[in-house]
Structure 1
Amino acid sequence: MGRRLTRALLAVAAASLLGGCAVWNSIPYIGGSSDKPKPAELEANPNLLAIRQAWTTSIGKVDFPLSVAVTGTTATLAASDGTVMALDAATGREQWRVSAGAPLAAGVGTDGATTAVVTRNNDLVVFANGKEAWRQKLTVLSYTAPFVAGARVFVLGADRSVAGFDGATGRRLWTQSRAGEPLVLRQSGVMLAVADTLVVGQGGRLAGLNPLNGSVRWEAPVAIARGINDVERLVDLVGRVSRVGDSVCVRAFQAAVGCVDAARGQVAWTQKANGSEGVGGDGASVFGTEADGKVIAWKRESGQRAWTNEKMLHRGLGTPLALGRSVVVGDAFGFVHMLSREDGTLLNRLATDGSAIAAAPVVAGNTLVVVTKNGGVYGFVPQ
């Protein structure tokens, strides 16, 4: 009963009616007082991985579900005030900076030439080589970075409808709607391409769509709605995902982690998991963070648990990144932890500006790029 109540309260905190509400990134305490659980004390930094800060810059505060986009050695990111910036990850040098003209709800998506964001005014704004090309009014809210590929821009709505737009003109090409959910998550969903299929998260299912017309090619259930009310029945796939070839591994909010064969549209495995952040991974493993701060590795082939790190409990961990021999994960206190991919032990810890890590870390070329909620942008490179 306690676990059921906990999940219901978490869902209330993270879900909203389509009108929108505040986003909760940490776990409320369920107990006899209003005190939150005390974050785990940090263990001594062993400095077993040689890495240094190469540069830092700033973009502005980030309080929306930012996705940092990488094309080659360029990282494209955005701030809540509508600023969109591309920088050379090797040097931290700004390549271009523009404004969407309004605060942002989602971004960034890019193919290197065309870049797209969504404003809180429900405008899809598209830039070509750093200059605004067009904008289109959306009919639904979106908290997921647009996906740009094949001279098209795709938008995943908060109600998990999908729309395709011509990348050059902004003409709406098609819309694929589905039965709306009473509650939706105000955080990034799932949208990516696997071969010639647009793969999206819709409720607890991963769906493969024809990008030319939006028709459904296959559906694979990762989690099934359960419970007696709308809150308990809330189930949704959250970004980011781990893709290796045709294997796409995802998290269903506070329910499960699973992998799907996107070539056949079949579920390979699912495991119960109690987290709200996306997953990272490599060819051998899938990495995720639980709501209480555990970091877990599952074997990609079978879903069997490989290891668990319980030394960062209640530190507000985000989405992990597999990088070299490490698993990189940021926390709510501005630290970036680098764990061993083999057993989850700490290899190194990096400090930023003390504010929460705002987006899943990314690697561009030889540089690890980290963005904080206060707008700090950091580049770390091997020594």
Structure 2
Amino acid sequence: MPNRTTRLSSAPWRRALATAGLVLAAGLLAACSSSAKKPQPTPLSPVAALMGTQLAWSAQVGESRASLVPVVAAGKAFVAGNAGTVAAIDVATGKDVWRLNLGTQIAAGVGSDGQTASVITGNNQLVAMADGKEIWRVRLLARSFTAPLVAGGRVFVLSADRTVTAFDGSNGARLWSQTRPAEPLVLSQTGALLALGDTLVAGLSGRVIGLNPLNGAVRWEAAIATSRGTNEVERLVDIVGPVSRIGNSICARAYSAAVGCVDGSRGGTVWTRAAQGVTGVHGDDGLVFGSESDGRFQAWQRATGEPAWSIDRLKYRGLSAPLALGRVVAVGDSAGLVHLISREDGSEMTRLTTDGSPILAAPVLAGDALLVQTRNGGVYAWRPQ
């Protein structure tokens, strides 16, 4: 299975810094708290502009949702919109390599190894594409809110019922499935599914589990959090994406319960720490970054889990999951702003604007560019100056 570790320490960005079932999740919890007045976003100070960036290109794929996560592979950014558009965009130029309308709503995606791209439709069909053409589609047995993983000639799917299924990448034949028992409520939010060498890693309930990609056999598992509540909502501790992988270190968040790191070579839990956030984490070899439910942005020491720093100036701004990018961390908000902050202490470096609609998924690194997708379907890529 190919190694899909993302190189986070981008030299151009370092130079720029030097110069400058019964589905729950957000819907049910929001409904439970709708009667309470929401806190107002913390007012922003004037832009610091301590580093230079330039908008390299932009594109449009139509209205999007949090489970439509851009993925970059083989020099292309694969993006999708709710209404059925899937596009492969050249990250150097911003021009379409190909674009396809599937004619049906898309619920989750995109996964790609650079050749085959895959999404999951709103009516539970897994669709595979190559060179701008659909090559097969199969019906799934359960809903999914996580982008498929395309690796090693296979397409892997993590369903909301906590089942991992493998399909043949060439024809869609079902190869195996692995189900883990868990609580009856499921999370309508992107989960964790990634490759670690020749191991498939998935977040199932509050555990990170290593699977044999050839047959689904469990190789190891490590707990980030365990169910301890007195009701079904409190016992929901699913792993949410994205996760941070550096070598064999995998750090993840269990929904509204904890953040922790595990050793992917043997499956041991290295540390866990109580945390109330609901979006994924990202990091580098020294720190792990993420936000709490109220928008307090936090850094933890990767080796020990000890807090490194936290900032309150982005509270109640509806933050996305972050992206660690060299010596800065990028995080989007519900006003369509991208905040670039120092990894050292959380101080502001600069702020980028989009179309004003929320940035729901984590930013991604696209070659030497920082890429985000907004709820209105805008795809924006900036390069350092």
TM-score (norm 2): 0.92
In structure 1, how many angstroms separate the alpha carbons of the residues matched to 2:87 and 2:29?
28
SS of structure 2 residue aligned to 1:329: strand
Post-superposition offset of 1:65: 1.1
Q: Which residue is 1:93 aligned to?
A: 95
1:156-206 deviation digits (Å, cap 9, x = unpaired): 110110111110011101111222431010011111111111010110011
Provide the C-alpha distance between the structure 2 equivalents of 1:326 and 1:225, rounded to a whole number of angstroms. 34
On the 8 A contact 2:185/2:232 being kept in 1, the answer is yes
Measure, in 2, the Cα distance between the counterparts of 1:26 and 1:349. 30
- Counterpart-to-counterpart distance in 2, 1:295 and 1:372: 21
Equivalent pair of 2:212/2:219 in contact (CA under 8 Å): yes
Counterpart residue number, 2:112: 110
Measured against aligned partners, the alpha-carbon deviations of 1:261-308 in whole angstroms (never above 9, x if no partner) come to 000100111111110000010011100011101110001111111110
Q: SS state of the match for residue 276, structure 1?
A: coil
Q: Please give the per-residue CA displacement for 1:29-65, whole angstroms capped at 9, x wherever unaligned.
A: 969x732101000011110011111221211001241
Name the structure 2 match of 1:43: 45
- Residue 379 of structure 1 aligns with an amino acid whose one-letter code is A
Task: Name the aligned partner's letter for residue 133 of structure 1.
Answer: I
CA shift, 1:86, in A, is 0.8
Instruction: Report the residue type matching 1:280 in the other structure.
Output: H
Contact 2:224 2:254 in 1 (8 A): yes
One-letter code aligned to 2:160: A
Alignment match, 1:342: 344
Distance apart, 1:28 and its partner CA = 7.9
Secondary structure at 1:381's aligned position in 2?
A: strand
Cα distance in 2 for partners of 1:190, 1:100 equals 25
**Does the CA-based 8 Å contact 1:109-1:145 persist in structure 2?**
yes
Q: Provide the residue aligned with 1:78 in structure 2.
A: 80
- Measure, in 2, the Cα distance between the counterparts of 1:106 and 1:65: 5
1:14 equivalent in structure 2: none
Give the Cα–Cα distance (whole angstroms) in 2 for the partners of residues 135 and 27 of structure 1.
34
Q: Which residue of the partner structure matches residue 243 of structure 2?
A: 241
Q: Distance in 2 between matches of 1:56 and 1:154?
A: 30
The aligned residue for residue 141 of structure 1 is 143
- The amino acid that maps onto 1:360 is A
2:368 corresponds to which letter in structure 1? N
Q: 2:277 aligns with which of 272, 275, 278?
A: 275
2:253 and 2:329 map into 1 onto residues whose CA distance is 17
RMSD of aligned residue pairs (Cα, Å): 1.7
2:264 counterpart letter in structure 1: A
- Separation in 2 of the partners of 1:224 and 1:279? 19
Supply the AA of the counterpart residue of 1:333: A
Cα distance in 2 between the residues matched to 1:381 and 1:177: 42
* 2:253 aligned partner: 251
- 1:72, distance to aligned residue in structure 2 (A): 3.7
- Find the aligned partners of 1:167 and 1:378 in 2 and give their Cα distance: 30
Count how many residue pairs are aligned between Structure 1 and Structure 2. 365
Closer, same or farther in 2 for the Cα pair 1:264/1:174, shift >3 Å? same
Q: Matches of 2:75 and 2:130 in 1, distance apart?
A: 18
Q: Tell me the distance in 1 between the aligned counterparts of 2:138 and 2:33.
A: 43
- Unpaired runs of 5+ residues, structure 2, are 1-20
Deviation of residue 22 (structure 1)? 8.0
Quote the residue 1:165 is aligned against.
Answer: 167
Residue 292 of structure 1 is matched in structure 2 by 294
* Letter matched to residue 261 of structure 2: C
Distance 2:103 2:203 in 1: 29
CA distance, structure 2, for counterparts of residue 308 and residue 380 of structure 1: 26
Contact in 1 for aligned 2:239/2:252 (Cα 8 Å): yes
CA displacement 1:112-137 (0-9 Å, x = unmatched): 00111000111000002221010001
Alignment partners' CA distance in 2, 1:377 and 1:48:
24
Q: Which amino acid aligns with 1:103?
A: Q
For the 8 Å contact 1:28–1:36, the answer to whether it is kept is: no
Percent sequence identity is 53
The separation in 1 between residues aligned to 2:29 and 2:277, in whole angstroms, is 10
Task: Write the distance in 2 (CA, Å) between the matches of 1:26 and 1:214.
Answer: 33
- Alignment match, 2:206: 204
Corresponding residue for 2:12? none
